[in-house]
Amino acid sequence: MSEPPASAPPDAADGRRKPVVTLPMVVAGVCLALPFGAMLWVDSYARLKPAFIGIPFFYWYQMLWVFISTALTTVAYVLVRRQERERKRGGRA
């Protein structure tokens, strides 16, 4: 079995490109990590006031993050799908 020349990049022998970390992928990662950080930082929401329509802050803050997490996950999904489409389109050309 032949090996690629030592001077060639690891994936250059079979024509594939190495995955590259791009700005959209970094933004997608931040969008997915942000809700975890917000929920793990308990001191930021471990209180009762301000109440919203009689619901203590502790509860409505967490419920708000359900919707924020949904939006951030959607943004991450769109960014990753767009990046995949561009990569596939670039590979065919």
Does this model's pTM top 0.95? My answer is no
What's the length of the chain?
Answer: 93
Structure-block tokens of residue 19:
């995955």
Q: 29-72: per-residue pLDDT in tens?
A: 999 999 999 889 888 888 888 988 998 988 899 999 999 999 99
Structure-block tokens of residue 93:
């050309």
Domain residue limits, the chain: 23-88
First to last CA, the chain: 30
pLDDT recorded at residue 77: 96
Closest to 87 measured CA to CA, from 2, 20, 32: 20
